[in-house]
Chains A and B, each alone.
Chain A
């Protein structure tokens, strides 16, 4: 029996695979274009709603007015944004330093963990809004008080995730390190730290968002007493003055900051894990 004689001469096209490739291509484009379209239409609808119904700007400013405010008030908004950014980034930085250092201490010493972990939890579960006024009394600099607030909020997910991560090393690898006589430092450096990396980066993503939230809350509470701090203080002040154009402008900038922080922490996580971790894998099919 000769099968070759019956074989088709044209290259075989698998309909299912071709359809899948087509779908993937469309998905790749749609992932960006669809949300962009939604945004364009929303802004358009917002603009039409405001102009057709003649909504006064102190109830809902139109998108044009908000855009105008961003441009006109840039001299005011830009320094405010810098302050909020500094607050957020510093809080996140200290959260990383404190969270990782404490997590390492916890995993190196059971006694340290037993003694201090409950207090880290208490610090976390006490609403930062309730602590802020106290900090305002005891800490002279408004910036420093706000920084402390944002730090308290951001630090816990780093501590908690890193602690779990440092303990998550493969047990057989632990045994292997023991057999080869690894020192404490080698165990931490070559086993516990890489095992903890995905957990730490997960914590970092959460902490990035929380640092911004902490900064905004702190500015609301602490910046109120005329000590204009950053964007959130500007937003609050604009609301007192019924300057809704500026209020919306500040809101948009805060939201943009949140998006940028999320994008940066996601990118860091992707770059650090793409070679080996399951979470960063692109499935072939």
Chain B
């Protein structure tokens, strides 16, 4: 893995400000450079603008001030998104759901059949192609959602608290799998969470945000090399990183109050 300082930048946000109607300042003077290969967690209390950052990057919303710049321009296949809910189409099978990004680009199913199979295999659901979402458990639905986000092999995947609604055992399992997936498809991830433990286990960069107005107050590096396994959760290193992240988050909450 390339050290963070040597990674080429993928996307820069400079002096971003977002003000909603009614003068609610969601983000103020937000600066962030996302590098190629980062697993970057946005950690912060609710209302700190974490999700707003994702909406700005995915172009669902435009900044009031400031600029978001994709280094080398943004291609149409560059982005994959996973929401807090699995957000599957209930009327479509698992394979058709994963096919969606291709379908909307006008690509035929036959030409991407293998890609869909590969993506489903990576999340361990290659035997569920013909199943409907209602036949799957919450964790399996989320896996389909992840397969859909990465099937086009995007450069950047945005994840907005994807595991928040799952039980802890399922969440741990998906954490492990997500790290393997990221290594397998070699992409960049921005992961929004309010869990210190999740952010430390998954990411190599943790950006801590404070609320009112939303802004970055700390940035931490988790230098434990990948692959990280379940035993990382009980290591002294992990404990030290979670303490540092907890303190930063505590400061974020203190600042906000």
Chain A partners chain B: yes
Instruction: Tell me the A residues contacting B by CB distance below 8 Å.
Output: 170, 172-173, 175-182, 186, 190-191, 194, 197, 275-278, 281
- B90, CB-defined interface residue at 8 Å: yes
CB-based contact A176/B90 at 8 Å: no
28 CB < 8 A contacts A-B: A172-B83, A172-B85, A172-B87, A173-B87, A175-B58, A175-B83, A176-B81, A176-B83, A179-B58, A179-B59, A179-B60, A179-B79, A180-B100, A180-B105, A181-B76, A181-B104, A186-B104, A190-B100, A190-B103, A191-B89, A194-B89, A194-B91, A194-B92, A197-B91, A275-B91, A276-B91, A276-B132, A277-B91
- Residues on B lying within 8 angstroms of A by beta carbon are 58-60, 76, 79, 81, 83, 85, 87, 89-92, 100-101, 103-105, 132-134
Residues of the A chain whose Cβ atoms lie less than 8 Å from the Cβ of B76 = 181
Contacts of A191 in B (CB 8 A): 89
Q: Sorted from nearest, which 10 A-B pairs have the closest CB atoms? A: A172-B87, A180-B104, A194-B91, A172-B83, A182-B104, A276-B91, A276-B90, A276-B132, A179-B58, A180-B101
How many A-B contacts at CB < 8 Å in the complex? 51
Q: In the bound complex, how far is the Cα of B98 from the Cα of A176, in angstroms?
A: 12
Q: Tell me, in angstroms, the Cα distance from A157 to B95 when the chains sit together.
A: 34
Instruction: Say whether B87 contacts A176, CB under 8 Å.
Output: yes
Q: Would you call B104 and A173 a contact (CB within 8 A)?
A: no
Query: Bound state CA distance, A186 and B132, in angstroms?
Result: 21
**Contact present for B60 and A175 (CB under 8 Å):** yes
Chain B residue with Cβ nearest A187: B104
Distance, CA A186 to CA B89, complexed state (A): 14
Residues of the A chain whose Cβ atoms lie less than 8 Å from the Cβ of B104 = 177, 180-182, 186, 190
Nearest B residue to A281 via CB reads B134
Asked if B90 contacts A178 (CB within 8 A), the reply is no
Determine the residue in chain B with the shortest Cβ distance to A175.
Answer: B60
Tell me the smallest distance from the CB of A170 to a CB of chain B, in Å: 6
Q: Which residues of A contact B103 (CB under 8 A)?
A: 186, 190
- A168 CB to closest chain B CB (Å) equals 12
Q: Considering the chains assembled together, what is the distance between the CA atoms of A144 and B132 in angstroms? A: 45
Bound complex: CA of A179 vs CA of B61, how far in Å? Answer: 11
Which of A172, A181, A186, A277 contacts B90, CB < 8 Å?
A277
Minimum CB–CB distance for A88 against chain B, Å? 30
Checking A176, A177, A186, A276 against B134 with a beta-carbon cut-off of 8 angstroms, the contacting residue is A276
Nearest CB of A to B175, in Å = 22
Give bound CA distance, A177 to B87, whole Å: 11
Which chain A residue lies CB-closest to B96? A190
Q: Which single residue of chain A is at the shortest CB-CB distance from B80?
A: A179
Most buried by A among B85, B89, B92: B89
Please give, as numbers and ranges, the residues of chain A lying within 8 Å of B58 by CB-CB distance: 175, 179
Residues of B within 8 Å of A176, CB to CB, are: 81, 83, 87, 100
Q: How far is the CB of A276 from chain B (nearest CB, A)?
A: 5
A276 and B91 alpha carbons, distance in the complex (Å) = 5
Measured CA separation A172–B86 after assembly (Å): 9
Q: How far is the CA of A170 from the CA of B91 in the complex (A)?
A: 12
**Separation of A194 and B92 alpha carbons in the complex (Å):** 9
- Complex CA distance for A113 and B134, rounded to whole angstroms: 34
Most buried by B among A172, A180, A182, A190: A180
Bound complex: CA of A197 vs CA of B92, how far in Å? Answer: 13
| A181 to B105 CA separation, bound complex (whole angstroms) | 8
Smallest Cβ-Cβ distance to A197: which chain B residue: B91
Instruction: Give CA–CA (A47, B66) in the complex, Å.
Output: 87
Q: B136 to chain A: closest CB distance in Å?
A: 12
CB-defined contacts of B100 to chain A, threshold 8 Å: 176, 180, 190
**Known A175-B81, A194-B91; further 4 A-B contacts with Cβ < 8 A:** A181-B105, A194-B92, A275-B91, A276-B133
| Alpha-carbon distance A184/B81, docked complex (angstroms) | 21
Distance (Å) between the CB of A156 and the closest chain B CB? 26
Q: Which A residues are in CB contact (< 8 Å) with B134?
A: 276, 278, 281
| Interfacial chain B residues near A197, Cβ < 8 Å | 91
Alpha-carbon separation in the docked complex, A275 to B91 (Å): 8
CA distance A194 to B100 in the complex (A): 14
Q: How far is the CA of A170 from the CA of B145 in the complex (A)?
A: 14
Task: Considering the complex, give the chain A residue whose CB is closest to the CB of B102.
Answer: A180
Q: A residues within 8 A CB of B101?
A: 180
